[in-house]
Structure 1
Amino acid sequence: MDNDNARKTQNSQTGRAVQSRSPYGTGQDADQDQDRLQIDTSGLEPAAVLVALYRYATIGGVLWQNGLPVAHVTELTVQEARDLFADAAESPDNGPLQAVSSDGWWVDYLKGVPIKSTFYPDTVDATGFDREYKAGNARAAIEQLKAGVYE
């Protein structure tokens, strides 16, 4: 990402300054919130939401339906996802989670699987996930998480 999209912010967990970037670049996609797919995840741990999207994309057959290879895909546990969030808090510009704000984390690909979502404490911006797989899949994954499918 270019420096035009970056701004300094403070990581709420470490207190360190981090670069905040829009994963969508500049222009309409970055500026029009009404076009973003913001899904309420209140009461859900961001790590569990990440696992739900990952599993929905792989186990749910979404990758297979889109002709993408799934043979190499490995399981993702909630503990692994928690560790990813903890590692990202320590080193916000390295690894699969990238800081986009003081409390937001962008995940482009995870273990080779397109996630393309930004995780916040009480919401997830899953615009890229639905664009990648098809409209409604992110919400379906989160509804399955709420129903206990991914426990």
Structure 2
Amino acid sequence: MALNTLKDVYIDQLQDLYSANRQSIEATRKLADKATDAELKSALKDGVDGIERGIETLKPIIEGHDAKPTGEFCKGMEGIVKEVDAHALNTDFGDDAVRDAMIISQYQRMTHYAIAGYGCVLAFAKRLELAGEVTKLAECLDQTYEGDRRMTAIAVNDVNKVAA
């Protein structure tokens, strides 16, 4: 597809974000299974729920522009998910808290990718004056930021202290 207008870029990036969310949800489930800190495990499970809500929000927006949600495959998130596998899921750790610290690090990398994606599509939706979509995308962005702040708090107040 040729990207000739801002709307074309917007749809392309919505599809990319949809793909990124679909890839990150499975990785987040695996991270939740490996986590040992109860608060971390709970936050990751809530993260799965949030990613699912993001997918449910993006799908009708994309379809409303006569596009397929699966029209793009996000290679950026594919790389991040490979890093999750290599550094958090398929690595031997001598201490559960150290693994939990790595899990937070890897989860936040996925989250930061999502924050960038939601921020971009939100800016495009505002410029395109798509008020209903702006509201929905702003909610997704806010929820993603909140999940990131929660992970930081868990790391700083608990997991990193134990891991040290």
TM-score normalised according to structure 1 size: 0.30
Q: Per residue, is there more helix in 1 or in 2?
A: 2
Which protein is bigger by CA-based radius of gyration? 2
Higher relative contact order (CA 8 A, sep 6+): 2
